[in-house]
Every structure is written in C-alpha cells, then in structure tokens.
Amino acid sequence: MNRIFKLNSKAGNTLAPPSLESCQSLEKSDSNFPKKKNAAKKIIKITLQKKLKIVIELLFDNATTATCEWLLKEARRKFEEIDRGGKYRSDISRIVALKTTKDNLMLDYMLTQPEMTLEILPEKITLQAYVAPATQLGSQAKKTSLQDFEICGCLGRGSFARIYLGTID
C-alpha cells in the first residue's frame, strides 16, 4: 500500500494519505492491484486396493489442527460416498490404517498415531488404505488358555511370575 503523494504546489499543502477503508476499496476495484493467490492446500490422494480413489484437499491452516484419526475417518466416509452400489462395503468397513505408497517408514509410523497433526505430510502425497484381513465367517477365533498346553517344567521364578516350558496339545 505504498503510494506516492505529490505536493500541491499551488496550495502549498500536502495531500493526506488515504485511509484504510479507501485502500481496501482500491484493492477491490483496481485491476492492477495485486490479487491474493488461492490459499495453499495439501492434496492427499488415497486409493483402496487400486479400485477406488479419492482426493482430500486440506488448507495448510487446517493441517495444524486436523489429525491422522480425522483423516482416516474422512477417508472411510468419502469411500462410502463413492461406493453407491455397495460393492466394496466390506473392504471399506475393514480399513484400519493409511500408509504411503512408497513405503516411507517415518510417515507410515506417524500415520498410525491418532493425535498426530497432518502438518507432517508433504504438499502432495498418495496414500493407500490398509484393509484388515477378512475373518472366515464360520470359524470364530478360539481364545488360548492354560488348558491348551502341556506343561513340561518350570524354567525360572521372578518376583512377579513363574516361567514354564510347555507344548500345545
């Protein structure tokens, strides 16, 4: 808003600088006045088993408050939106994490932390949804208990526990 103010040689007075309101009105009306660029965004592309693809655009300002947990929930919600036929419903319900496509271990670890903010992500990134394996419908996972083992002997004693050698029946 640096403007040059000329002296009025006839009157001997200087012109007063424009007020803040007049500068703002100049910004709106003057086509030569520099316009603000679009707000910077992080572009996060997420794929689900190379079948479904979504894009989440996040303003840099929001990246400091949005968390990895929010990103996972938002990815599930957007996948559900685009899967209108319900063809991938079971896969979407089993999404448990997001990971990088290029196996960046540091970012993969940070994406598993629910409270981590998204400012850690680069400006453009492609992630893939990690889907938990489907359990077989007829077989329930049996809990392992002490009765499932044949105890061979005591290996040692600690202040809180005893260690036994055993084999599964």
Sign for the CA dihedral angle at 115, 119, 122, 124 comes to positive
Least confident of 24-33, 34-43, 144-153: 24-33
For the sheet with 124-131, list strands across it.
Answer: 52-59, 41-48, 124-131, 95-100
pLDDT in tens, 2-24: 444 444 444 444 444 444 444 44
pTM of the model: 0.59
Name every residue whose Cβ is closer than 8 Å to that of residue 77 and which is 6 or more positions away in sequence: none
Read off the tokens for 156.
């040692």
pLDDT in tens, 57-89: 999 888 889 999 999 999 999 999 998 888 888
Ordered structural domains, the chain, with CATH = 41-131 (3.10.20.90)
